[in-house]
Amino acid sequence: MTFIADIRAVLEAQLAELKSRQTHLSADLDLPLDPDAGERAVEVEDDASLEAQARLVAQEINSVERALLRIDRGTYGACVKCGEAISDKRLRARPEAALCLACADKNE
């Protein structure tokens, strides 16, 4: 397999796992609240945490899908900001990376 094919496989596995997590989070959030006021207060607090997790998972899904799109378009591995190559080491560590280290450091 080539480097890009290996990365695609990693990204597709990540995407499947993230979508599974998203499904479970949605199912948990869709559960009706307990009629008992004390229990309901705890569930509302838990739901706030689940909603935050769901937002993070959605962002991760978006990043992985964009990386797969860059592979399909032949632009994967090029920084979306400056166009320079993203190091293979960075791509192995963060396959969804869209920025080279220099641009990522500037964004922080």
Over residues 59-82, the pLDDT tens digits come to 999 999 999 999 999 999 999 999
Q: Would you state the pLDDT for residue 30?
A: 82
Domain enclosing residue 17, as ranges: 3-76
Tokens of 9: 């496989």
Total structural domains within the chain: 1
Of residues 96, 93, 35, 86, the one with CA closest to residue 63 = 96
Residue 35 lies in a domain: yes
Q: Does residue 60 fall inside a structural domain?
A: yes
* pTM, to two decimals: 0.84
- Are 103 and 94 in contact by the 8 Å Cβ rule? The answer is no
For residue 107, give both structure tokens: 């964004």
- Residue 39 within a domain: yes
C-alpha–C-alpha distance, residues 2 and 35, integer Å: 56
- 59 is written with which tokens? 């962002």
Band (pLDDT 50/70/90 cuts) for residue 106 is confident
Residue 60 has what pLDDT?
97
| Mean pLDDT score across all residues of the chain | 90
In this predicted structure, the answer to whether residue 37 has a pLDDT above a threshold of 70 is no
Q: State how far Cα 2 lies from the chain centre.
A: 23
Nearest to 31 by CA among 13, 50, 5: 50
Residue 25 confidence (pLDDT) above 60:
yes
Residue 97 inside a domain? The answer is no
